[in-house]
Amino acid sequence: SPCTEWVSAAERPGGSLLTRQLQELWRRSRGSLTPQRLLFEVTSASVVSERSSKYVLYTIYLIRSGQFDKAPATIARRYSDFEQLNRRLRCRFSCDMASIAFPRKRLRRNFTAETIAKRSRAFEQFLSHLHSIDEIRRSPEFLEFFFLPDLQAAQRLTCTGMYREALATWANAYRLQDRLGVCSSGRFLLTLAGLAVCHQELDQLSEAHGCCEQALQLLEAQGSHPLLGPFLQAHVHLAWKVGKDKRHSEARLQDLREAGLPLQQQPSLKECLIKETLE
């Protein structure tokens, strides 16, 4: 059974039960990705000088066609990030990638307004072209280019107690996954855990409760998942605090107890976040 596989994977050195179950959920959810017309717009480009290097940072908005987004989903990437994505995708999807243009590296004049403007348009077209190809749009290489850096940054900020900054970063990761249509993947559940933890730490209890509700709806069909117990326990606690109904979650916790899950030893949502390896 899948559960046995996950347990044995967790017992192997370096195996992560959470990661493996999230990957399984990711695999199952990939079939349900719905294509959506997404526009990629470079809204600004700034030259950044660091100790011994200088590069251009491109800020890109992901915009759903025909809709107004109050809070845009944004990424900031440099040429080398795009180059790495291009390389990884060409390794895996050589046929699909054959017709996709990528702006060449220049030996000089990299920082002129003309080069930056041309590259901005080229990156917009590059991402739009990638998104139009079914297999590429669903691939972890493409998807994680957008939201993995935010998840890693949000995790670091949460671990160091910088909850306000972490909250903004988890929220952007949420919007990115929403625009990309991956709101049932394991990464999305982890994002909801991050939002719930930060909202709770900032005393925004009804928002934290809402995040737990959303996660539990996604987990409704899951008989067993490493985040199910932690989300249920957080939901019961928060529902009690904000005066909402907690009976359904209490009943689900009781079912888990009867199935032999030692709930006293269950990690909290925060401990799940800190332990998860994001790479």
Do residues 223 and 252 lie in contact, with contact meaning Cβ atoms separated by under 8 Å? no
Portion of the chain with pLDDT greater than 70, in percent:
87
Residues 6+ apart with CB under 8 A from 122: 101, 102, 103
Predicted pLDDT of residue 24: 56
Q: Measured between alpha carbons, how far is residue 140 from residues 136, 149, 212, 232 in Å?
A: 9, 13, 25, 28
* 64-95 burial: b if 16+ Cβ within 10 Å, else e: eeeeeeeebbbbebebebbeebbebbeeebee
- Residue 78 clears pLDDT 70, i.e. is over it: yes
Predicted pLDDT of residue 28: 53
- Residue 75 clears pLDDT 60, i.e. is over it: yes
Predicted pLDDT of residue 109: 81
Predicted pLDDT of residue 201: 98
Lowest average pLDDT, out of 16-20, 86-90, 201-205, goes to 16-20
Angle at 106 between CA 104 and CA 109, to 5 degrees: 135
Q: pLDDT per residue over 202-232, tens digit each?
A: 999 999 999 999 999 999 877 678 999 999 9
What is the chain's percent helix, strand, coil content, to nearest 5?
60, 10, 30
Predicted pLDDT of residue 1: 32
Predicted pLDDT of residue 27: 54
Do residues 40 and 62 lie in contact, with contact meaning Cβ atoms separated by under 8 Å? yes
Domains of the chain: 37-138 (3.30.1520.10), 146-278 (1.25.40.10)
Predicted pLDDT of residue 142: 97
Phi, psi at 160, each rounded to 5°: -95, 10
Residues 6+ apart with CB under 8 A from 67: none
Q: Using CA atoms, how far apart are residues 148 and 150, in angstroms rounded to an integer?
A: 5
Predicted pLDDT of residue 17: 46
